[in-house]
Amino acid sequence: MANVNWRTINIDALDPDSPANFDLTSLAPSVAPVSTADVQSLASQIRQLLRGGDNEGALQGALENPPYGADDKGKDIHLATVIEILQSIRQSDMSPILSRIYSAPGGTEALDVLMKYIYKGMAQTSATGTARNVTPQPTGFSQIHARGGGEGGGQAMSVLLSWHEKLVEIAGPGSIVRVMTDRRTV
Amino acid sequence: MAQPEVHHLFHHPIADHSFSADRQLLAVARESNVDLFKRNGSKFQLADELKGHDKTVTGVDIAPKSGKIVTCSQDRNAYVWEPSPDGWKPTLVLLRINRAATFVRWAPSETKFAVGSGARLIPVCYFEEEDNWWVSKHLKKPIRSTITTVAWHPNSVLLAAGSTDGHARVFSSFIKGVDERPEPSAWGERLPFNTVCGEFLNNTAGWVHSVAFSPSGNALAFAAHDSSLTVVYPSAPEQPPRAVISITTQLLPFMSLVWSSEDEIIAAGYDCQAYRLQGSEQGWQLAGSLETKGRPGVAHREESALNMFRQMDLKGKTTDDTKLDTVHQNTISTIRVYEEAGGQVRKISSSGVDGRVVVWSL
């Protein structure tokens, strides 16, 4: 006993009431696991709608089936699909499409999902932007390169920002709060 | 609709407030003290201060019949204050918790009270005649996180609790020798202490701010931080509920709610105003705000050109937009029933971060 450093004992592991011993899965709503292949096939179906010019149907389909149970790769595929749809819809069509989705049954849920993807998309574009900035450029043109990357991200960001503005007009700040609160991440 | 009665007491947040049954006394949690205000005509005047806690007071409740005041605080203590000829006499209650107490409410029977705490348990406290001492029994399982709010069923045995683990739960707090054996209800038949009669989670698992039983006790409503309000109608003991209706709003989250009748809930929170929600087992919807639009004093007056240019010169803008056009100027943290007649609530009171207590007619 003498050589046990009692200051480093993890007392939480010994206390049955400690939060370290909780089964945390019971706290979050259960989500069914989704395989990456399923996400991929859904993405190709949605792309088909998109090619057929049915932007609204594509958006609705993408928002109704968020792959909460997928792994990171599956979630990234679905994010790319949603962003592609968002970028293909003209600014003047945004509000009418959003109000139609909102008034449909389960519409608030769908708009909450859209809000999640908008925020995730914003996080994504800025992350890739910085990633490009840190790539070492032996030619010394790193600055120009970084600026180019930033502008590309900026365009994607401006699409997301205008979607965000239109969405808040319809779904209200409640939808933002739900994105922050929800344990089912996209 | 009558104008709301606004009492701006001080410039501090009000964590909790409570009126006595005759509505002459108002207890307000202010920092580490509880201020007692007495009604004087149409105003409330500071009459007494209950000093005893040494950290922020988080809950205060006046028992309607006995007039005893219970307070709880982040210093992990609760006191029961009784009126005596030489002022209010505090009695320390042994809560046996190692985290802050967050919320306290008397049971309708007034023989016991429940305290929410950060220690993942609910001390249910009752008076032990033999030892002349308030003792507590802990509701523990299956609480996973801080209890933010508790609410009593009219039978004084069932207790609803909302927690930061996203669950609203219904427990039995039956204590032998203190409580009458309760009538069997949809929540349960045999109810030994710490029976879990219901455990509810909404879709997003946002943490729960407020819970309340309907006047009959046959429905439970809870408001969570995902701006939603969920109403649960139980069917029978050990059975899934008959209906769980969850409505997501466009508003900011509700902090507090009360049932004004079986088919109406008043909820208020971060939007600084109270909202009316109506519905039944078939469905619930938001029915609008309690604020009367265009109240005098807040409505835009016609500005003179001179005044407009003067404001632009002094402040760089023409209208003073530092004031919200709601009665409360900050988050509403508590709403309570103020006056009720024949099972129908006529008036409610609200208090918030802006130091105001407001009485609303429904």
Residue B237 has a pLDDT of 87
Which residues pair with residue B30 across a beta bridge? B33
* Residue A126 confidence (pLDDT): 61
Q: Is residue B337 part of a domain?
A: yes
CATH of the domain at B86: 2.130.10.10
| Candidates A113, A167, A169, A177, partner chain B, best to mutate (most B CBs within 10 A) | A177
* β-strand pairing of B243-248 with B254-261: unpaired
Q: Would residue A2 count as lying in a domain?
A: no
Residue B87 belongs to a domain: yes
3-state secondary structure of B306: helix
Q: Which domain holds residue A42?
A: 33-181
Cis-peptide into B192, omega within 30 deg = no
Asked if residue A138 is part of any domain, the answer here is: yes
Q: Please report whether residue A125 resides in a domain.
A: yes
Chain A residues 29-88 with CB within 8 Å of chain B: 29
Please tell me the predicted confidence (pLDDT) of residue B36: 96
Nearest to A46 by CA among A75, A80, A96, A71: A80
Of the ranges B36-45, B120-129, B314-323, which one carries the lowest mean pLDDT score? Answer: B314-323
Full pLDDT tens readout for chain A, 186 residues: 567 888 888 888 887 777 677 777 777 777 888 899 999 999 999 999 999 989 999 999 999 989 998 899 999 999 999 999 999 999 999 999 999 999 988 889 999 999 999 999 998 866 554 444 444 445 544 444 444 444 556 788 899 999 999 999 999 999 999 999 998 888
Give domain status of residue B297, yes or no.
no
CATH of the domain at A54: 1.25.40.190
Q: Any idea which of B183-187, B310-314, B331-335, B356-360 has the lowest mean pLDDT?
A: B310-314
Q: Is residue B150 included in any domain, yes or no? A: yes
- What would you measure as the largest C-alpha separation in chain A, in angstroms? 76
> Does B321 have pLDDT greater than 90?
no
Looking at residue B2, its pLDDT comes to: 77
Cβ–Cβ below 8 Å for B250 and A171: yes
Whether residue A79 lies inside any domain: the answer is yes
**Looking at the domain assignment, is residue B210 inside a domain?**
yes
What share of chain B in percent tops pLDDT 90?
A: 77
Long-range pairs for B331-334: beta carbons < 8 A, 24 or more residues apart: B331/B255, B331/B269, B331/B270, B331/B272, B332/B255, B332/B256, B332/B268, B332/B269, B332/B272, B332/B273, B332/B274, B333/B13, B333/B14, B333/B15, B333/B16, B333/B255, B333/B256, B334/B14, B334/B15, B334/B16, B334/B17, B334/B255, B334/B256
Instruction: Collect all residues of chain B within an 8 Å Cβ-Cβ radius of residue A183.
Output: 166, 204-205
For chain A, what is the domain count?
1
pLDDT tens digits, B52-107: 999 999 999 999 999 999 999 999 999 999 999 999 999 999 999 999 999 999 99
| Cβ contact A178–B249 (<8 Å) | no
In a domain, A46, yes or no: yes
Strand B57-62: give its sheet, edge to edge: B57-62, B69-73, B78-84, B87-93
- pLDDT computed for residue A144 by the predictor: 44
Q: Are A117 and A79 in contact (CB under 8 A)?
A: yes
- Measured between beta carbons, the chain B residues lying within 8 angstroms of A28 are 166, 205
* Cβ–Cβ below 8 Å for A173 and B253: no
Q: What are phi and psi of A116, to 5 degrees?
A: -60, -45
Is the CB of residue A22 less than 8 Å away from at least one CB of chain B? yes
Q: Is the pLDDT of residue B216 over 50?
A: yes
B355 lies in a domain? yes
**Based on the structure, what is the number of domains in chain B?**
1
Confidence of residue B300 (pLDDT cuts 50, 70, 90): low
Kindly state whether B141 is in contact with chain A, defined as any CB-CB distance less than 8 angstroms. Answer: no
Between CA B71 and CA B101 the distance in angstroms is: 10
Residue B200 lies in a domain: yes
Alpha-carbon gap, residue B33 to B20, rounded angstroms: 18
Sheet holding B33-40, edge to edge: B17-19, B25-30, B33-40, B43-51
Considering only the beta carbons, identify the residue of B205, B207, B248 that sits closest to A29. Answer: B205
Tokens of A61: 């389909």
Judged by a CB distance cut-off of 8 A, whether residue A125 touches chain B is: no
Cross-chain residue pair A174–B251, CB shorter than 8 Å: yes
In a domain, B144, yes or no: yes
B275 in A contact zone (CB under 8 Å): no
Print the domain residue range for B12.
Answer: 5-292+302-361
Residues 6+ apart with CB under 8 A from B208: B148, B149, B162, B163, B164, B166, B167, B168, B222, B223, B224, B225
The answer to whether residue A57 is domain-embedded is: yes
CB B74 within 8 A of CB B101: yes
Burial B171-183, CB ≥16 within 10 A → b, else e: bbbbbeebbeebe
